[in-house]
Structure 1
Amino acid sequence: MLISRQSRRNDEWVDYPDGRHVLLDTLKTQLYDENGELCGLVGISRDITDRE
């Protein structure tokens, strides 16, 4: 992901400490500063368990 400078989107199962088992649609992408330098990563997930 970092080398190609492309975002990655995937579905992943997550087990929470309270026992829930949920399917997340996750988008991960790089964050760059005004000089084009990598300064962080951003991840956004949403619960799509009910779609499964």
Structure 2
Amino acid sequence: MTPLQLEHLTILQNRVQQFFSSDSSGHDWWHTKRVHDLASRLAKLEGADEYVV
């Protein structure tokens, strides 16, 4: 990823974390992070563009 893409993802991660910080339905920040981490691993295995995923 380019430095600009990494910066965009950092900003997005912070916003998502704030948005889900008070969620109690089970779809909180940690659930979102687990989904992201799994998608990143799968993207690497499949040779996909991680920024798009």
The verdict on a shared fold, with TM-score over 0.5 as the criterion, is: no
Normalised TM-score (structure 2)? 0.21
Normalised TM-score (structure 1)? 0.21
Larger Rg: 1
